[in-house]
Structure 1
Amino acid sequence: MYENSSSLRWRPLAVEDAKAAADLLNAMETVDRIGDYYSEEDTLQELVDPYAELERGSLAAFDGDVMVGYMKANYQPDADEVHQVYLDGGVHPAYRRRGIGAALLKAGVTAAKELHDRYHPTLKLVVDAKRGEHIAGVAELFRAQGFAPARYLQHLEHPLGDAVPDPAIPDGLRIEAWSEQNDEEFRAVRNESFQDHWGTAPMPVDSWKSNVTNQAFQPEVSFLLRDVTTGTPVGMLVTKCWEADTVATGIRDANFFLMRTLREHRSRGEARALVAHALRAAADQDYGRASVRVDSAGAAGAVAVYEEAGFTSKLRLVRWARDV
C-alpha cells in the first residue's frame, strides 16, 4: 500500500476509535493551523453520523495503538443529478511524505464509488474534500489523484467586546431565538435556501440532529428571522462552540456554522440583521470571538456581508473535487 506498509495496521474506523481520532486531528492542528481542535466527544459524533458507513466507507492506519492516518467518506441521503461524497481525514505530521495520504485518498475514492453505486447509481458522482490552502503537500497529493480546486472557503473572524453595535432589524421582520418549537423551521430554511448552492443536498432530520443540533450547538446564539405579516421564516443563523477549541486557545469562539436567507428575501438587509444580532448576543454572553467559514463564490454574497460586519479573513481553504 505504501513503502512501509508492513509496519502499520490498516482497518476500517470504529466508534471505539474516537479518542485516537481526536489525538490524530489535534496533532495535525499543531502543524496545519486551521483552527480546529477536537475532543473525544467531537470525533465520536462524526463517527456515529448516520451517513458515514464505517465498514464500507472508512480506512485507518495504526502504528501500534496510535492512529497515524484515516479517511472517512460521507454520502448524501438525497441527491438530484449529482451525488457528492465528502472525504474527511488526514495524516499525522510525523508520518507524512511516506505515501500514507495517497493510499488513504485512493481508498477514499474507491469507497465513494461503492457508496455511490449502492445509493445513487444513476446519478453523476463527485468526490469532494476540504483542506487548508497553506498546508504543504496537499495540492500535489490531490492533483496526483485527479482532483482539482472546485471552490474556496474563507475563514473569517471578528473579535467581540463593547464595540459591537446594537443590531437594526428591518421593518416587517422579527428575530426569535431557537427553540424546540421552531427547530423544524430552521431546517426548512436551510434546505430551501441551499437549493441554489453548489454541492449541497437536502438535510434530513437525522442528519440535522447529528451534524447541526449536536453537542457543540449553542441555542442561545442561534436565531430565526420571521416575516411579521405572513409568519413565514425567511432566514436563520446557527451558532456552534467547541469546548476543545476553548481549552486549546483560551478563547470562547462563537462559530456561525450556518447562516442562510431565502432567495426572495435577500434585498432588505436580512442577512446583515441576523449577523449583527448574533454578534451582539455573543458579545453579551461573554464569547471572545466570532468566526465563520464562507464559500467565496456563494450566490448570496455572504463574504461581503461578514466583512461589512467587521469580520476579517484569516485563511483560505480549498474544496478539492473529482468527477468519477
Structure 2
Amino acid sequence: MPEESSSLTWRSLTTGDAKAAADLLNAMEAVDQIGQLYTEEDTLQELIDPYLDLERASFGVFDDDVMVGDMKVSYKPATEEVHRVLINGGVHPDYRRRGIGTALVEAGVAAAKALHTQHDPGTRLAIDLHWAEHIAGAAELFRSQGFAPAWYDQQMEHPLGDAIPETAVPDGLRVEPWSQQNDEEFRMIRNEAFKDAGLAEMPVDSWKNRMTDHTFRPEASFLLRDVANGAPAGVLLTKCWEADAAATGFRDATFFLIGTLRNYRRRGVAGALIGHALRAAADQGYDRAVLRVGSATPTGAFGIYEKAGFVPGLRFVRWGLES
C-alpha cells in the first residue's frame, strides 16, 4: 500500500465506508457525467461482494474524513485457462492530476497479482479496468501502466415515450415473468449463454449480490420458455438505480442481462424479450430503457437493438493487462 502523505491517508476499505464511497462516486459523476448516481445502499452492496477481499485488495484515500479516491479489486470465482480480475475505483475531481490515480492503479495491479497467486496460480492472469471512453486523462493513465483496449461496451438508449415496435413471440415459445421458482433458470441461462464469450460462471452468492440485489426489478424481468418441452430459452433481467431517479426525476429501466441459449438462437428470442420488456417498462412508468452491448471493435453491429428503437449513447472501454 502506498505510504501516507502529509495530508492524505491510505487504508483498506470497510463496510463502514459505504456513505463516503457514495459521496465520492457522486462527486465524480458531477464532472464525468456517465449517468450513475449512488446511494449508501448501492455502495454497501459493492463492499459486501463475496469475491472482494476488502482487507487485502481495497484501498481508500482520505483527506481527513472525506474519501478522495478508492480502488477495489475483485476476482472471478471460477476459471479455466484465464483468471480474470477486475479493478474498479476513481479519484475525486478536485484531487486529480496529483498522482493519486497512478498510485491507485499500481496498487490495484499489485493486489490483483496477489489475488491471482492466492486463488488461481495455475492459470493466466487477465486484469480488467472498465472506464467511460470520454473521461479526460483516463486513457493516458491506463496506457502508461501497460493496459490496452480489449473490449468496447456501447450504451444504447430507448426513449419509451416514442412508439415501441410490435414484436411477436416466436411460435412455440411463451413469456413468463421472473419468480422465485424460475430464478435458478435465469442464472443458468446467464452462465450457459455467455460461455462462448469466455465469462466465468456466476455462482449463487455472486448472483444474489450482483444481479438480484436491491436494484433488481422483477416486474420488468422475463423468461422465454419452450411450450413443447418446458425448457427455458432466454432471459432478460432489469435493474433500476433509484439514486439516479431521485436526482433527475427520470427513471431508467436498465436491461442488465439479455441471454439466449445456443439451441434457441436465430429464432427471435432476444428481440421478443426486448419488445416485451419495453412495453412492460413503459406501462410501469419508466422514462427510458438502457442497455449495453459489447464488441471486440469500437464499431460493433447493434442491429437487433437499433431495430427495437435504441440509439447509441456513451461508450465504455474495457482496458486489459495480461501477465
Do they superpose with TM above 0.5?
yes
Paired position in structure 2 for 1:56: 56
* Alignment of structure 1 residues 89-168 onto 2, 5 Å: 89-161=89-161, 163-168=163-168
Paired position in structure 2 for 1:203: 202
Separation in structure 1 between the aligned mates of residue 144 and residue 165 of structure 2, nearest angstrom: 48
Separation in structure 2 between the aligned mates of residue 278 and residue 219 of structure 1, nearest angstrom: 11
SS of residue matched to 1:5: coil
- 2:165 and 2:308 in contact (8 A); partners too: no
* Cα offset, 1:315, TM superposition: 1.1
Separation in structure 1 between the aligned mates of residue 272 and residue 293 of structure 2, nearest angstrom: 17
The amino acid of 2:117's aligned partner reads D
Q: Percent identity?
A: 64
Separation in structure 1 between the aligned mates of residue 262 and residue 134 of structure 2, nearest angstrom: 33
Paired position in structure 1 for 2:215: 216
Indicate whether 1:267 and 2:266 are aligned.
yes
SS of residue matched to 2:195: helix
Paired position in structure 2 for 1:72: 72
* Cα offset, 1:250, TM superposition: 1.1
- Point out 4+ residue stretches in structure 1 off by more than 4 angstroms: 1-4
Paired position in structure 1 for 2:9: 9
Which stretches in structure 1 are left out of the alignment for 5+ residues?
A: none
Q: Which stretch of structure 1 is more off in the superposition, 113-122 or 159-168?
A: 159-168
* Cα offset, 1:247, TM superposition: 1.1
Separation in structure 2 between the aligned mates of residue 240 and residue 302 of structure 1, nearest angstrom: 24
Deviation per residue, 1:58-85 (Å, 9 max, x gap): 1110001000000000101101100110
* Cα offset, 1:293, TM superposition: 1.2
Judging changes above 3 Å, is the alpha-carbon distance between structure 1 residues 220 and 302 closer, same or farther for their aligned structure 2 residues?
A: farther
Separation in structure 2 between the aligned mates of residue 237 and residue 302 of structure 1, nearest angstrom: 20
- 2:150 and 2:296 in contact (8 A); partners too: no
- 2:128 and 2:321 in contact (8 A); partners too: yes
TM-score, normalisation: structure 2: 0.96
Q: Which stretch of structure 1 is more off in the superposition, 107-116 or 157-166?
A: 157-166
Q: Give the superposed CA RMSD.
A: 1.6
TM-score, normalisation: structure 1: 0.96
* Alignment of structure 1 residues 305-316 onto 2, 5 Å: 305-316=304-315
Separation in structure 2 between the aligned mates of residue 100 and residue 5 of structure 1, nearest angstrom: 11
The amino acid of 2:155's aligned partner reads H
Paired position in structure 2 for 1:83: 83
SS of residue matched to 1:6: coil
* Cα offset, 1:272, TM superposition: 0.4
Separation in structure 1 between the aligned mates of residue 79 and residue 248 of structure 2, nearest angstrom: 38
Paired position in structure 1 for 2:235: 236
* Cα offset, 1:3, TM superposition: 11
Separation in structure 2 between the aligned mates of residue 77 and residue 4 of structure 1, nearest angstrom: 32
How many residue pairs are counted as aligned between the two chains? 321
Separation in structure 1 between the aligned mates of residue 52 and residue 243 of structure 2, nearest angstrom: 23
Deviation per residue, 1:99-153 (Å, 9 max, x gap): 0000000000011011111110100001001001110000110001000000000
* Cα offset, 1:308, TM superposition: 1.0
SS of residue matched to 2:321: strand
Judging changes above 3 Å, is the alpha-carbon distance between structure 1 residues 4 and 123 closer, same or farther for their aligned structure 2 residues?
A: closer
Separation in structure 2 between the aligned mates of residue 175 and residue 5 of structure 1, nearest angstrom: 58
The amino acid of 1:154's aligned partner reads Q
Separation in structure 1 between the aligned mates of residue 274 and residue 188 of structure 2, nearest angstrom: 19
Deviation per residue, 1:140-170 (Å, 9 max, x gap): 1000100000000001110113622443101
Separation in structure 1 between the aligned mates of residue 203 and residue 301 of structure 2, nearest angstrom: 24
Separation in structure 2 between the aligned mates of residue 297 and residue 323 of structure 1, nearest angstrom: 16
Separation in structure 2 between the aligned mates of residue 29 and residue 162 of structure 1, nearest angstrom: 28
